[in-house]
Amino acid sequence: MISPLYQRNDALSAGMFVPESRFGMWFLKTETWAVHVLLRALKDLERLIPARLPAYPTIVDVGCGRGRSFGLLKARFRPDRMIGIDVDGTMLEIAAAETARDGLEVEFQQTTSSRLMLPDASVDMIFCHQTFHHLMDQEAALQEFNRVLKPGGLFLFAESTRKYIHSPMIRLLFRHPMDVQRTAPEYLAMIRTAGFDVGESAISYPYLWWSRNDLGLFERWFGIKPPKIREETLLNCVAVKR
């Protein structure tokens, strides 16, 4: 019997999402992912929020995977309702089990980012972490996010750019649709075109060790600082629905 907190979109379309590699699925279970990727992104996004409110009643995690974000989102933003979106049913089953074990009530939808089963203007915050580089229909997903967010609602976006996704190590270990990858300026332009405001103070370009070709070893071992002028590998931003 399907849980009342679980919905599946029977109109799921193939070819709209590139599934992760076996290595990638394993990596999502590691503490490296939880601490150095997910938690660091959320901490950075949190400080970028303009005119932060005491609470955000309805929060959606798009591409929630194993659901490791929900405890962090609950602690920081005090939602009454949390919804996890993922196209992978197996991942949602894992997320449902793990969030239940942690005492969190989360609704789950198995659907694509461009076909959310949510009413117009019903969401206060969308958290989208390392999801866009898997999507084939990025513009359609942004339009859908704009539809379900309330006016003034927040879109928390943390993403790897084309520079990182096209790097040899990532090509070898992970799977992505290479022809839809974007630079940081291209992502920002796409988000703004979709009806969001992104102030300069709400943008961050973290150059974390794991996003560098040398994994930060040159700086750690030899004290060689990364160039100040570079093509960015990561983009974090907080966008506000107009």
* Per-residue confidence in pLDDT tens, the chain, 242 aa: 345 577 888 655 545 667 777 877 888 889 888 999 999 999 999 999 999 999 999 999 999 999 999 999 999 999 999 999 999 999 999 999 999 999 999 999 999 999 999 999 999 999 999 999 989 899 999 999 999 999 999 999 999 999 989 988 878 877 778 888 999 999 999 999 999 999 999 999 999 877 887 777 667 787 878 888 899 999 999 999 99
The CA distances from residue 89 to 6, 8, 59, 78, 108, in Å, are 10, 9, 20, 27, 10
Give the model's pLDDT for residue 216.
Answer: 73
Q: Are strands 107-110 and 6-8 parallel, antiparallel or unpaired?
A: parallel
Give the model's pLDDT for residue 220.
Answer: 78
Domains of the chain by start residue, with CATH: 25-241 (3.40.50.150)
How far apart, in whole angstroms, are the C-alpha atoms of residue 30 and residue 45?
22
Q: Is the CB of residue 127 less than 8 Å from the CB of residue 61?
A: yes
How far apart, in whole angstroms, are the C-alpha atoms of residue 240 and residue 122?
15
Q: Is the CB of residue 148 less than 8 Å from the CB of residue 121?
A: yes
Give the model's pLDDT for residue 10.
Answer: 64
The H or E element that residue 202 is part of is none
Give the model's pLDDT for residue 41.
Answer: 96
How far apart, in whole angstroms, are the C-alpha atoms of residue 99 and residue 66?
9
